[in-house]
Chains A and B, each alone.
Chain A
């Protein structure tokens, strides 16, 4: 996004900070981001800085334990959310769903009026939580060089626009136009057109106009709708039409023309790789999914108590705390029914918990397997899914065929989605086994970082013939697959190889051994037998 467009979004937000909710700023740290963050000063100040690991008491208010103990009187802290008008959430890509849910709740209730999230995610799957981005009007991506840094928003203009805002007229067809744009971009949420409307209003006020004009709608749509688009509108107009004459004043006959123009404007700002996104997630930025993460202070097997700070997120081990405080009572002057406890005495309860498992199905959809067994493999995965559902496992789906491997589904607990993706999987082409393994390993690593334990399930007939670089070279393909499987072993990822070939293949059993995984020939198996084999193997491992 160019600099002036990014600052324009910020200016509109400053004009109507509560109505527009906020902005998600996606940028890596650097001079461009620093310069842009300076511009945040135009928002209602002072701003509080939040970070994802913040505990509930400091956010929403609660008992100030350290103070209470020191002074001996009950001290409450108010919580940051109530004290400041603007909030900046740093490292929003690391924000957990529960914090996001509570911030979203505060936004709905109106206690949190303006939120700016700073998203430093590098990959598409590292993003600010969808529950929050959905409630903020703008999505600003700053992938600029230092020389692109331009002017900062003008505070005088903002104050002037704020005065104009309440008396601004909204032409009748504006809402209709915005709704139609949303439909053609595949945006279902009712929040999107409302944000677009308010942004258009703010833009008109910024121009010093008394009513919303087509150019306001155009700019507002580009800023608030482009990043929410889930599909591209049908392109029946050549792109040159966008440079058409300046807009004539809107009259009922012009509505159709206006819509087309606006659509063009949005399309030029659609994020790159939108089509890929649609294929992978079905919906742009549709959350990171479930992910009951391993956390050490709530459930599982109890472990010895540890010293720590008492906050809303963990539990105080009362007995251990008292035991720690006991030897000091004489020195501290306690005794006679009074025990003096200091913050350093706090002992926090700890539990050890088995983390959730992710089954990463890596399915061979190549020509050789497609002819023989792809349908069977699909059936087996479906049966395994039902099993995984009962055990609350997460499931990811990767297919390899042709020249490369595709992630059909990032890890999820949604049975419906997995089934749909699997059913739509076509077969044919070469067997890029190495690419499939590599993709599976990457997914395994990602899920492990999220605190889950991954297990790769490979369904193939093992005739690897496409190397990692996409060339059809059988020996190289095999050696590539060997190299990747050795890496999987080094990384300590569990794996199971299901041999779909007509006869058990020596190569696959060696491959499994190299991964230190389980090898299971399933000659002429039906889907039921196959799923039984995997279930049994999984039970052995646990």
Chain B
């Protein structure tokens, strides 16, 4: 199959690209929500992300991608537990998927052919230690959303049905995309996404022409195009890897914490998740920039994407939450 479109070849869309890079640096930020019209490159960016992520060490053949041999769940029958490197899993959760496919269920094949009661892992198992991507997340049925919320919170998938009692770790970065005109997300799910970005088509004609040129080259002259962008992709990947290393040595000053708290207070963002996410995002951004401490610049850059979806809805404000955050950021960090 064709390799996905290279991440670094996406024209513009800096917010979207940055948010994805930040979650790659620090997966605990908790996912990205991308809202925008059709044809603005949402799914292209997610598919491209997979090629960009550093590899993970995992037990070969383990359905939940365990890191160490002793982490492999007891219900998995495996003879030798060899550890090798593999790409970070990026798993698609399609609309209309059944609960069984998501959580896993009784393995009907094994039950029928061998009469065995075995567990067939679902998408949540495959996405462990990786990414779970939901396109058109706002059209996802409520009972699947509930299920995801539960697992995202506990980091563990528990299956109790059809005589099975199974649990396995399921920690994943949730990436959702959708078109806001077709429906909105429940606040509970909205809050679960660490970062949220709005994408629009490029506004300048030069950018638009560049989009078409690159896409055309990707389709008509595939090999050469991939070679051309390989180096740039590798650069971003190295940046992500080194940022992951330096993340733990970054200093968090008290003044940065005060700034963050003041910002969230002024915006009236519900709960403490806003503060934590903003702190993590600012830290990841500082690491990405190869700076040694979190400064106001970092906070300013990531505040809109970390906070815009956490504001209480104001039915009379049409300016959009991003603009509101930006206004308050200018006030507080002036």
Q: Chain A residues with Cβ under 8 A from B181's Cβ?
A: 282-283, 286-287, 412, 414, 416-417
Contacts of A175-226 to chain B: CB distance below 8 A: 175-176, 178-180, 182-183, 188-194, 197
Residue from the set B41, B96, B141, B200 with the largest chain A CB neighbour count within 10 Å: B96
Query: Can you report 25 A-B residue pairs in the complex whose CB atoms are below 8 A from each other?
Result: A74-B109, A98-B97, A101-B95, A101-B96, A102-B94, A105-B135, A108-B43, A130-B38, A183-B208, A189-B38, A191-B39, A194-B212, A283-B181, A287-B182, A298-B141, A312-B101, A386-B313, A389-B313, A392-B186, A412-B182, A414-B184, A415-B315, A416-B180, A416-B318, A417-B181
The reply to whether B142 and A292 contact each other, CB–CB distance below 8 Å, is yes
The reply to whether A389 and B208 contact each other, CB–CB distance below 8 Å, is no
The reply to whether A289 and B183 contact each other, CB–CB distance below 8 Å, is yes
Is the C-beta of B205 less than 8 angstroms from some C-beta in chain A? yes
The reply to whether B40 and A189 contact each other, CB–CB distance below 8 Å, is yes
* Nearest B-chain residue to A390, judged by Cβ: B187
The reply to whether A96 and B96 contact each other, CB–CB distance below 8 Å, is yes
Is the C-beta of A466 less than 8 angstroms from some C-beta in chain B? no
Q: Chain B residues with Cβ under 8 A from A192's Cβ?
A: 39
Is the C-beta of B100 less than 8 angstroms from some C-beta in chain A? yes
The reply to whether A190 and B2 contact each other, CB–CB distance below 8 Å, is no
Is the C-beta of A253 less than 8 angstroms from some C-beta in chain B? no
Q: Chain B residues with Cβ under 8 A from A419's Cβ?
A: 315-316, 318
The reply to whether A110 and B139 contact each other, CB–CB distance below 8 Å, is no
The reply to whether B1 and A414 contact each other, CB–CB distance below 8 Å, is no
* Nearest B-chain residue to A130, judged by Cβ: B38
Interface size on A, residues (CB 8 A): 72
Is the C-beta of A299 less than 8 angstroms from some C-beta in chain B? yes
Is the C-beta of B67 less than 8 angstroms from some C-beta in chain A? no
Q: Which of B54-62, B213-221, B294-302, B303-311 is found at the contact surface with chain A?
A: B213-221
Q: Which 5 A-B pairs have the closest CB atoms?
A: A98-B96, A189-B39, A290-B183, A413-B183, A98-B95
Chain A window 65-76, contacts with chain B (Cβ cutoff 8 Å), 1 for yes, 0 for no: 100110011100
Given contacts A382-B316, A414-B180, is CB(A69)–CB(B112) below 8 Å?
yes
Is the C-beta of A303 less than 8 angstroms from some C-beta in chain B? no
The reply to whether B37 and A190 contact each other, CB–CB distance below 8 Å, is no
Chain A window 144-186, contacts with chain B (Cβ cutoff 8 Å), 1 for yes, 0 for no: 0000000000000000000000000010000110111011000
Q: Chain B residues with Cβ under 8 A from A105's Cβ?
A: 92, 94, 135
Is the C-beta of B179 less than 8 angstroms from some C-beta in chain A? yes
Q: Chain A residues with Cβ under 8 A from B208's Cβ?
A: 179, 182-183, 190, 193
- Measured CB to CB, the closest approach of chain A to B209, in angstroms, equals 5
Is the C-beta of B108 less than 8 angstroms from some C-beta in chain A? yes
- Measured CB to CB, the closest approach of chain B to A320, in angstroms, equals 12
Q: Chain B residues with Cβ under 8 A from A413's Cβ?
A: 138, 183-184
Residue from the set B39, B43, B216 with the largest chain A CB neighbour count within 10 Å: B39
The reply to whether A193 and B212 contact each other, CB–CB distance below 8 Å, is yes
Contact of B183 among A69, A110, A299, A412 (CB under 8 A): A412
Q: How far is the CA of A470 from the CA of B141 in the complex (A)?
A: 42
User: 19 extra interchain contacts, Cβ-Cβ under 8 A, other than A68-B112, A318-B162?
Assistant: A19-B219, A65-B108, A68-B109, A97-B96, A101-B96, A111-B1, A130-B38, A131-B136, A134-B38, A179-B209, A192-B39, A286-B181, A286-B182, A290-B182, A299-B143, A412-B182, A414-B180, A415-B315, A419-B315
Interface residues, chain A, CB within 8 Å of chain B?
19, 63, 65, 68-69, 72-74, 96-99, 101-102, 104-105, 108-111, 130-131, 134, 170, 175-176, 178-180, 182-183, 188-194, 197, 282-283, 286-287, 289-290, 292, 298-299, 312-316, 318, 337-338, 341, 382-383, 385-386, 389, 392, 412-417, 419-420, 423
Q: How far is the CA of A314 from the CA of B108 in the complex (A)?
A: 13
The reply to whether B39 and A298 contact each other, CB–CB distance below 8 Å, is no
The reply to whether B182 and A102 contact each other, CB–CB distance below 8 Å, is no
Given contacts A63-B108, A419-B315, is CB(A176)–CB(B215) below 8 Å?
no
Q: Chain B residues with Cβ under 8 A from A415's Cβ?
A: 184, 313, 315
The reply to whether A97 and B313 contact each other, CB–CB distance below 8 Å, is no
Give the interface SS of chain A, mostly helix, strand, loop or mixed.
Answer: helix
Q: How far is the CA of A292 from the CA of B142 in the complex (A)?
A: 8
The reply to whether B136 and A298 contact each other, CB–CB distance below 8 Å, is no
Given contacts A109-B1, A183-B205, is CB(A287)–CB(B98) below 8 Å?
no
The reply to whether B139 and A290 contact each other, CB–CB distance below 8 Å, is yes
Contact of B200 among A134, A182, A188, A286 (CB under 8 A): A188
Q: How far is the CA of A287 from the CA of B135 in the complex (A)?
A: 15
- Measured CB to CB, the closest approach of chain B to A236, in angstroms, equals 19
The reply to whether A180 and B183 contact each other, CB–CB distance below 8 Å, is no
Q: Chain B residues with Cβ under 8 A from A130's Cβ?
A: 38
Contact of A420 among B94, B143, B200, B318 (CB under 8 A): B318
Given contacts A179-B209, A299-B143, is CB(A190)–CB(B40) below 8 Å?
yes
Is the C-beta of B165 less than 8 angstroms from some C-beta in chain A? no
Contact of B216 among A72, A197, A318, A389 (CB under 8 A): A197
Q: Chain B residues with Cβ under 8 A from A298's Cβ?
A: 98-99, 141, 143
Q: How far is the CA of A420 from the CA of B319 in the complex (A)?
A: 11
- Measured CB to CB, the closest approach of chain A to B48, in angstroms, equals 12
Q: How far is the CA of A507 from the CA of B212 in the complex (A)?
A: 62
Q: Chain B residues with Cβ under 8 A from A98's Cβ?
A: 94-97, 139
Q: Chain A residues with Cβ under 8 A from B183's Cβ?
A: 289-290, 412-414
* Nearest B-chain residue to A104, judged by Cβ: B135
Q: Chain A residues with Cβ under 8 A from B138's Cβ?
A: 290, 413
Is the C-beta of B271 less than 8 angstroms from some C-beta in chain A? no
* Nearest A-chain residue to B208, judged by Cβ: A179
Chain B window 170-213, contacts with chain A (Cβ cutoff 8 Å), 1 for yes, 0 for no: 00000000011111101000000000000011000100110111
Q: How far is the CA of A507 from the CA of B155 in the complex (A)?
A: 59
Residue from the set B113, B142, B212, B219 with the largest chain A CB neighbour count within 10 Å: B212
Q: Chain A residues with Cβ under 8 A from B2's Cβ?
A: 110
* Nearest A-chain residue to B11, judged by Cβ: A190
- Measured CB to CB, the closest approach of chain A to B192, in angstroms, equals 17
Contacts of B275-325 to chain A: CB distance below 8 A: 313, 315-316, 318
Contact of B136 among A74, A97, A109, A189 (CB under 8 A): A97
Q: How far is the CA of A383 from the CA of B313 in the complex (A)?
A: 12
* Nearest B-chain residue to A133, judged by Cβ: B38
- Measured CB to CB, the closest approach of chain B to A209, in angstroms, equals 17
- Measured CB to CB, the closest approach of chain B to A129, in angstroms, equals 10
Contact of B201 among A73, A188, A386, A389 (CB under 8 A): A188
Chain B window 31-49, contacts with chain A (Cβ cutoff 8 Å), 1 for yes, 0 for no: 0000001111101000100
Is the C-beta of B261 less than 8 angstroms from some C-beta in chain A? no
* Nearest A-chain residue to B143, judged by Cβ: A299
- Measured CB to CB, the closest approach of chain A to B178, in angstroms, equals 10
Q: How far is the CA of A292 from the CA of B183 in the complex (A)?
A: 11
Q: How far is the CA of A197 from the CA of B216 in the complex (A)?
A: 9
* Nearest A-chain residue to B134, judged by Cβ: A101
Q: How far is the CA of A341 from the CA of B181 in the complex (A)?
A: 48
* Nearest B-chain residue to A100, judged by Cβ: B95
Q: Chain B residues with Cβ under 8 A from A109's Cβ?
A: 1
Q: Chain B residues with Cβ under 8 A from A318's Cβ?
A: 106, 162-163
Q: Chain A residues with Cβ under 8 A from B179's Cβ?
A: 286-287
- Measured CB to CB, the closest approach of chain A to B103, in angstroms, equals 12
Q: How far is the CA of A102 from the CA of B318 in the complex (A)?
A: 33
Q: Chain B residues with Cβ under 8 A from A68's Cβ?
A: 109, 112-113
Q: How far is the CA of A104 from the CA of B38 in the complex (A)?
A: 12
Q: Chain B residues with Cβ under 8 A from A97's Cβ?
A: 95-96, 136, 139
- Measured CB to CB, the closest approach of chain A to B176, in angstroms, equals 13
The reply to whether B212 and A178 contact each other, CB–CB distance below 8 Å, is yes
